[in-house]
Amino acid sequence: MNEMLKSLGWPRDDVNAAIRSRWRLHALALLLLALCLPVYLTFANTLDRLEVTEQYNLLFDADANRGAKCFANGWASGRTIVHPNLCNLTNPLVRVTAGALAVLGLAEGGAELRHRVALALVPIVSSLTVLLVFATFLTLRCGAPGAFLLALLYGVSFSQLIFGSMPEHFALSGFALVLTLWLLSQAVEHRRYSLPLWAVAGVLSLSITITNFLLFGLALLAALGLRQPWRQACRWGLSVVALAFALTLLIKLPLDALYGGADNTVGRLVRFTTDYMRDGGPLQALAGYPMQLVASIVGPETLVVPDRLVQEGARYDFQFSLEGARFVGGLSQAAALSVAALLVAGCAHGLRSLVARNRGELALFVTAIGTLLFNGLLHAFWGNGYFLYSQHWQFASWILLAWPLRTRLRHPALAVCAIALVLVAVNNFQEVARMLDILEQAQAMKAGGD
């Protein structure tokens, strides 16, 4: 590398500085991986030991039991119009990995090994998501310290700790959307457009949860708005969409036929939609949405409520919920205020892009606000609360959080971000520990009763 840069006419000092900078970035990326992956894996195995992966709804209405079976065995639901290729993407990967471990003699093959690999899948993908956040905000000129703090804040956010550690589809959607954000950042800063990578992001968004393809489409439109001429941009965008749909069907049709049991009927989609219409008024739900945006980052005091789908013989008759939860205590409130301040500052700077007519900044702002509005309106009418779907908007919140780090106020914003990181990390680990303690006590009481 050194000789190659010199041959291009770079001065020796510049070459050495570039190499040192590259090594520093690699070291920071490895540090992020070393900090996040063990946490997610440990939490995932703890949840499995506590049999959370055997019950519906326990963690904020997520169905970790269904996800674990889908990933490990491939026969469960996950091949519908709503989740076209969830099992088709995850189960072959789990089976190949488990098979390779068995052939190499590193583990004994079978259903138990596939289950262990399935548990590790989401933590690994979630760690890669954190690395993508780091890469995105390096591209968006937040600087290495700022990008590192933002990535680590993403890694310890409440949504990422919870959904990044359980065998469910939400964190996989989070990865697809952060990949889309990284591609948008390449368009904003460098006017780079990779048809294969955009198509991959489209396939992942469409295959895991179909509504997320609309969010992908919003980011794609924002990126196309930076590309000239318009006719060429439209042709390129249509090529991305067509390729994404074609590849999704190319995966879905043969694997659905191979596994069997897919329910791709319109009737199934209608039942799914009507079953999850929210009770109560949408305006009341929308009023609580700003708090939920902060709660997806800073965990409030989690509520324990009766499980709506508790089954006979289930280990737990309750579930955790954030609907109506509050920030209790000085630590939680300070963390929430610091995050809210960064979000508001990001909104203010984003609004300036409307006045300045900076097309790159405008593309980011439209993507962020459009994503937040879409999720706020959709889940005011449909779904099990807001927090369950927080991975679908988390990347948009980070666009706003990062904005002050891209301005002349970078240094004070960096200090606020560092303070927020410490407060959020301590608060969230305490809240996760409290939740695990509740589960441990319930398990002990159940064992004593048996």
- Threshold 0.85, pTM exceeds: yes
Residue 119 contacts residue 65 (beta carbons within 8 Å): no
* CB under 8 A, 24+ apart: contacts of 42-49: 43/123, 43/161, 43/165, 43/432, 44/119, 44/120, 44/122, 44/123, 44/165, 44/166, 44/167, 45/119, 46/436, 47/165, 47/166, 48/119
Q: At what angle do helices 410-449 and 330-356 cross, to 10 degrees?
A: 140
pLDDT of residue 128: 97
Local structure of residue 8 (DSSP, 8 states): T
353 compared with 450, residue with greater pLDDT? 353
Q: At what angle do helices 170-190 and 86-103 cross, to 10 degrees?
A: 100
Does 40 have pLDDT greater than 70?
Answer: yes
d(CA 51, CA 254): 34
Which residue in 269, 338, 332 sits closest to 300, CA to CA?
332
Residue 117 contacts residue 94 (beta carbons within 8 Å): yes
d(CA 145, CA 58): 37
Which residue in 330, 321, 283, 329 sits closest to 302, CA to CA?
321
The pair of three-digit structure tokens given for residue 7, joined into one six-digit string? 């041959």
Binned at pLDDT 50, 70 and 90, residue 57 comes out as confident
Give the pLDDT confidence of 146-191 residue by residue, as tens digits: 999 999 999 999 999 999 999 999 999 999 999 999 999 999 998 8
Q: At what angle do helices 195-208 and 170-190 cross, to 10 degrees?
A: 150
**Burial (0-12, 13-18, 19+ Cβ within 10 Å), 190:** exposed
d(CA 13, CA 50): 56
Mean pLDDT of 78-89: 84
pLDDT of residue 248: 95
d(CA 201, CA 329): 40
d(CA 368, CA 353): 13
The sign one gets for the Cα dihedral 291, 294, 296, 299 is negative
Is the N-terminal amide bond of 229 cis, ω within 30° of 0?
Answer: yes
Phi-psi region of 251 (alpha: psi -120 to 50; beta: other; left: phi over 0): alpha
Residue 382 contacts residue 276 (beta carbons within 8 Å): yes
d(CA 376, CA 282): 10
Domain boundaries, the chain: 2-449
Where do runs of H (alpha helix) occur along 50-104? 64-72, 86-103
Does 317 have pLDDT greater than 90?
Answer: no
Does 355 have pLDDT greater than 90?
Answer: no
Q: Which residues contact 424 (CB under 8 A, 6 or more apart)?
A: 153, 156, 157, 297, 298, 335, 338, 339
Residue 215 contacts residue 253 (beta carbons within 8 Å): no
pLDDT of residue 260: 76
Mean pLDDT of 12-36: 78
Mean pLDDT of 137-152: 93
Q: Dmax over Cα atoms in the chain, in whole Å?
A: 77
d(CA 53, CA 186): 38
Residue 52 has φ and ψ, to the nearest 5°, of -65, -30
pLDDT of residue 313: 61
Does 375 have pLDDT greater than 50?
Answer: yes
d(CA 446, CA 345): 48
pLDDT of residue 4: 44
Q: Which residues contact 364 (CB under 8 A, 6 or more apart)?
A: 140, 184, 188, 222, 350, 353, 399
Give the pLDDT confidence of 318-352 residue by residue, as tens digits: 889 988 889 988 999 999 999 999 999 999 888 88
Residue 286 has φ and ψ, to the nearest 5°, of -60, -35
pLDDT of residue 284: 84
Where do runs of H (alpha helix) occur along 157-259? 158-163, 170-190, 195-208, 212-224, 230-259
pLDDT of residue 181: 96
Give the lowest-confidence range in 76-80, 102-106, 338-342: 76-80
Which range has the top average pLDDT, 133-137, 186-190, 265-269?
133-137
pLDDT of residue 15: 46
Q: Which residues contact 119 (CB under 8 A, 6 or more apart)?
A: 44, 45, 48, 53, 68, 167
